[in-house]
Amino acid sequence: MADEKINEPTDLNKENGLNLPDETEGAEHLSLRVGSNITQRRLDKYIQGRLSNFSRTMLQKLIVEQAITINGKYAKPSTKISPGDIVDLILPPPPSKEFIPEDIPLNIIYEDDDILVINKQANLIVHPARGYKKGTLINALAFHAKQLSKGSEDFRPGIVHRLDRNTTGVLVVAKNETAHWRLARQFEARKTKKYYLALVHGTPDLTADCINKPLAVHPRIREKFAVLPMIGKEAITYYEVIEKFRGYSLLKINIKTGRTHQIRVHMSYLRHPIIGDEMYGGRLAYRWQIEDKEATPQEPLFARPALHAWQLEITHPQTGKLVKFEAPVPDDMRLMLEELRKFRKISD
């Protein structure tokens, strides 16, 4: 029996527009079954034979750092593999120099030698995709690489997870291969905590609830996702109503999975779409609407989905300590809340 690939590589950098498998980026998770013709071969040599784009030195480092296991157990580079063994790997993306550096401002929340945490602004795509080769976060990181890595030539922008183009808030970037695979494993194993703030139309019947509805690509519109129980991937969203207004609500949201457009689709399914999210039934919000005045030509208070990645809790990839990062509410959401509290507040 020849070597067998248990699961296809999770190509989390695939450029297929918005149809990415989930929020995790960059890393590959592979499971390989050793064929019957492979005997007494060192683990590092075996993996290098399967993954020619990674150096043996780097693979040995990953084995030592426990990013690679045999039958669920940690091993050494010199460990001999046997037919039928399952080799499981989480690999960082290979270095790339194809990104065009661009001087795009970054709002840095925290930085050390291993991670960079930013407060992502609206209208910024995280990773280049079809039709978007410039103006992305990757291009910004490529420009700032040397200062971010303190002069290291080995730095490559390491996108570990994503936020939608117009979602603001906390996003962590890995600054080296070790940080990348360790963070990727946390996101994949759902060991991170992610909290969002969302302004939605109406008020849910329950002040707190869990939405557990599988998601898949929309059957007719490839740019969208939909609740599809028969073919969808598991998607779990918890929400809590923080403030109620006439016609609107502020929600705190915690997601256990990270499917593309998950919060937006789930809130639309609940019939309380996010303000400004026209793709999923949300409407633009204007000042004259909030103030109950006659319609007049004016710019909307909110012209994007009112969704903000508020807090992120991870285990630091180097220290092993639990760290929590928070991004302040963006100006447009803050102004919208001020209007709602002034003109639409519900008395207790």
**Residue 256's CATH number:** 3.30.2350.10
Per-residue pLDDT of 89-120, as tens digits, reads: 877 665 555 678 888 999 999 999 899 999 99
Spatial separation of the C-alpha atoms in residues 132 and 165, rounded to whole Å? 11
Instruction: Choose the catalytic residue: 164, 205, 209, 348.
Output: 164
Examine the domain organization and report whether 207 and 338 are in the same domain.
yes
Instruction: Work out the number of other CB atoms within 10 angstroms of the CB of residue 154.
Output: 10
Spatial separation of the C-alpha atoms in residues 253 and 250, rounded to whole Å? 10
Residue that finishes a domain, picked among 91, 112, 130? 91
- Tokens 């780097």: give the residue: 58
Examine the domain organization and report whether 225 and 338 are in the same domain.
yes
Examine the domain organization and report whether 339 and 201 are in the same domain.
yes
Does residue 137 carry a pLDDT above 70?
A: yes
Spatial separation of the C-alpha atoms in residues 348 and 346, rounded to whole Å? 6
Does residue 154 carry a pLDDT above 80?
A: no
Spatial separation of the C-alpha atoms in residues 252 and 32, rounded to whole Å? 40
Residues in the chain: 348
pLDDT computed for residue 3 by the predictor: 55
Residue 236 lies in a domain: yes
Reported pTM:
0.77
Examine the domain organization and report whether 213 and 337 are in the same domain.
yes
Q: What is the DSSP code (8-state) at residue 328?
A: P
Q: Which residue has the higher pLDDT, 123 or 157?
A: 123
Residue that finishes a domain, picked among 44, 62, 91? 91
Whether the Cβ atoms of residue 43 and residue 68 lie closer than 8 Å to each other: yes
Examine the domain organization and report whether 78 and 208 are in the same domain.
no
Residue that finishes a domain, picked among 45, 64, 91? 91
Q: Quote the percentage of the chain above a pLDDT of 90.
A: 43
Q: Please provide the average confidence, as pLDDT, over all residues in the chain.
A: 83
Q: Which residue has the higher pLDDT, 54 or 284?
A: 284
Give me the amino acid identity at 179.
A
Residue 185 lies in a domain: no
Per the structure, how many domains does the chain have? 2
Which tokens is 178 given? 């070790």
Terminal-to-terminal C-alpha distance of the chain:
71
The CATH number for 65's domain is 3.10.290.10
Q: Which one, of 225, 236, 333, lies nearest residue 280 by Cα?
A: 225
- Tokens 């064929």: give the residue: 35
Examine the domain organization and report whether 338 and 217 are in the same domain.
yes
Whether the Cβ atoms of residue 77 and residue 43 lie closer than 8 Å to each other: yes
Residue 81 lies in a domain: yes
Reported confidence tier of residue 135, pLDDT bands at 50, 70, 90: confident
Tell me the average pLDDT across 67-84: 82
Does residue 324 carry a pLDDT above 90?
A: yes
Examine the domain organization and report whether 224 and 336 are in the same domain.
yes
In sign, the C-alpha dihedral spanning 127, 139, 116, 309 is negative
Examine the domain organization and report whether 203 and 74 are in the same domain.
no
Residue 280 lies in a domain: yes
Which residues, at least 6 apart from 109, have a Cβ–Cβ distance to it below 8 Å?
117, 118, 119, 170, 325, 326, 327
pLDDT computed for residue 129 by the predictor: 61
348 is catalytic: no
Residue 284 lies in a domain: yes
Does residue 263 carry a pLDDT above 50?
A: yes
Residue 131 lies in a domain: no
Residue 13 lies in a domain: no
Residue 214 lies in a domain: yes
Examine the domain organization and report whether 86 and 220 are in the same domain.
no
Determine which of 25-34, 223-232, 235-244 has the lowest per-residue pLDDT on average. Answer: 25-34
Domain holding 74, by residue range, is 28-91
